[in-house]
Structure 1
Amino acid sequence: MPTAAATESISAKLRKDEKDRFTLICDEIGTSPSNAIRMFVSAFNRRGGFPFDPSNPYGFSQETLSAMDDAVAGRNLSGPYRTVKEAMAALDEE
């Protein structure tokens, strides 16, 4: 009968609101916080680093990232619509 590998603890400090949300989401998806951390560590180790791009954790397309940069830089006023009302009117025309 195979023996279980020895395990070691890891500790991290979180704000209470972060920990509460993390625990709630883990419960909602049917796993424990400890198992979620083990899954992250396993993926991190397999990849040799983050299993996602930390600068783009949600996987936005380049087009979306460019649009977000434009909005932050105030370049979003150069489009065809200067107001929401104009954009909605154009949608209503179609």
Structure 2
Amino acid sequence: MTNFELLEKAKFKEFKSSQVPFPWWVNKGARMAFSFAAVEDADLEWLSGRSRESEAADEFLFYFAYGEQMNLDLCDRILSQHGIENVAPTPQLIVPRR
């Protein structure tokens, strides 16, 4: 199973927008999102465990790959386009493949 197949199975949806420079995988119910590069670079076992965990109701986690700029404005645009309010965007780094 690939990382992308794992996220599809976990009910993540690919999100593309002219206001966002690259695709994201978003799960509103789990309150988390992964950049395309983060999905490509993540360790499969780590991603499997991480994609099933929900966070606190006031937080939305955004996972970035190493080398990507963790941009709060970008996180806010993604939340806004999904109609998500009253949560703090929280940038995180993935655990990369070995």
How would you bin the TM-score normalised by the shorter chain? under 0.3
More strand by share: 2
TM-score, length of structure 2 as denominator length: 0.23
Structure possessing the higher relative contact order (Cα contacts under 8 Å, 6 or more residues apart) = 2
